[in-house]
């Protein structure tokens, strides 16, 4: 069977939509999206309510979002959930990375809070990893998912304007001289946690018996 012919994209964040569509550019699907995106692929407009990310794990949150979009669009839906795990903070903020500084926190507020929390941690102990779970949920209840990781370390002075979230202070191990926010999208997607998770999910859908 392989890929469904149509897939709903659960996210409403424009930057994330762009990133996901770039990573999934070779997926032979038509997208159903709740939000217009300039210069994006042709797609069907669909609607569904936004969900609260009340889960305790990346997987729970990704499934909450994918299920809502699958119900709303009437076709299988893809969602992801991701976060950063800082070793010196015992893995925090993890699944609540997007809400680290509060329920309505902006990227800038979250970033500032994380820098504050790690400012006393010696350079050699500022290790961290980005983690992403990408899930696909079918309206009938079937669900599959995959995970991606990106190991790195944190710096205290943000650099670069690309990406999202904590990218300006995250230096990936595989690109140790630039922050994630300094990498062009193709380079970021090739090594990122989201790229890894979505490529694995794509393989899973492609090989679907």
Q: Which residues are annotated as catalytic? A: 81
Tell me whether residue 22 or residue 127 sits nearer to a copy of itself (CB atom). Answer: 127
Residue in 5, 40, 11 with CA at minimum distance from that of residue 198: 11
Contact with a copy of itself (CB under 8 A) among 28, 41, 44, 125:
125
Residues 6+ positions from 2 with CB-CB distance below 8 Å: 28, 205, 206, 207, 208
The window from 12-20, 22-30, 61-69, 117-125 that contacts a copy of itself (CB under 8 A) reads 117-125
Quick check: bond before 68 cis, omega within 30? no
Task: Assign 46 to helix, strand or coil.
Answer: coil
Residues 6+ positions from 104 with CB-CB distance below 8 Å: none
Tell me whether residue 72 or residue 148 sits nearer to a copy of itself (CB atom). Answer: 148
Question: If you search the block for the tokens 């991701």, which residue do you land on?
Answer: 82
Contact with a copy of itself (CB under 8 A) among 51, 89, 115, 144:
144
Tell me whether residue 104 or residue 124 sits nearer to a copy of itself (CB atom). Answer: 124
Q: Which residues sit at the interface with a copy of itself, rule CB under 8 A?
A: 87, 123-125, 127, 129, 142, 144-149, 151, 173-174, 176, 196, 200, 203-204, 207-209
């Amino acid at each position: 069977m392989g890929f469904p012919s149509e897939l709903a994209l659960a996210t409403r964040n424009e930057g994330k939509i762009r990133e996901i569509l770039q990573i999934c550019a070779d997926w032979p699907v038509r997208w159903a999206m709740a939000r217009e995106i300039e210069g994006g692929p042709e797609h069907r407009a669909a609607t569904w309510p936004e969900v609260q990310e009340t889960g305790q794990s990346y997987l729970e949150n990704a499934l909450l979002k994918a299920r809502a979009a699958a119900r709303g669009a009437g076709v299988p839906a893809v969602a992801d959930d991701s976060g950063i795990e800082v070793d010196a903070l015992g893995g925090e903020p993890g699944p609540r990375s997007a809400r680290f500084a509060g329920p309505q926190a902006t990227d800038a507020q979250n970033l500032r809070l994380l820098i504050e929390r790690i400012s006393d941690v010696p350079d050699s102990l500022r290790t961290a990893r980005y983690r992403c779970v990408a899930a696909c949920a079918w309206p009938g209840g079937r669900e599959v998912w995959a995970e991606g990781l990106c190991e790195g370390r944190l710096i205290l002075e943000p650099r670069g304007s690309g990406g999202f979230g904590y990218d300006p202070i995250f230096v990936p191990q595989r690109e140790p001289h630039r922050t994630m926010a300094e990498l062009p999208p193709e380079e970021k997607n090739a090594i990122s946690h989201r790229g890894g998770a979505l490529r694995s999910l794509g393989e899973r859908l492609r090989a679907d018996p």
